[in-house]
Amino acid sequence: MTSLVERRAVFVYDAARLAAMAANAPVIPVLFCEREQPFREQFMAVIDRQCGPDRNTSPEELHADWVEAYIRMGWQYGATYSREFRTHPDMVPYAKLGQLERDKDTVFVMLCEIARQLIYDL
């Protein structure tokens, strides 16, 4: 049986993945279950915080947190996305993101709120 935090994390991650597909985004992440364990652990910690009283509703601040988390996991900026080389084109300040990427950050905030309010233990 999966924990509440894990169920929320899978929902947010995979829903954000589907939103990226629908928007025809240049980077479509693999399914949550296919991500490496360090990523899943840090993501669940983010979702746990985002579904609690210390949640952050600023897409800009959450993007900065995401960049820092990726740096800690050994990723760096790269013009193209590569899981193999751990490069990601969105590892830039929020102000340098295009509108599509800013919208993805806003979708993340909204998905966290859906998870917080509507995914719970009975």
Instruction: Tell me which amino acid residue 65 is.
Output: D
Q: What is the pLDDT of residue 1?
A: 81
Q: What does the alpha-carbon distance between residue 50 and residue 56 come to, in Å, rounded to a whole number? A: 6
b or e along 86-120 (b: 16 or more beta carbons within 10 Å of the residue's beta carbon)?
A: ebbbbbeebeebeeebebbbebbbebbeebbeebe
- pTM over the 0.85 mark: yes
Q: Which tens digit of pLDDT belongs to each residue from 87-113?
A: 999 999 999 999 999 999 999 999 999
111 three-state secondary structure? helix
Q: Which tens digit of pLDDT belongs to each residue from 56-76?
A: 999 999 999 999 999 999 999
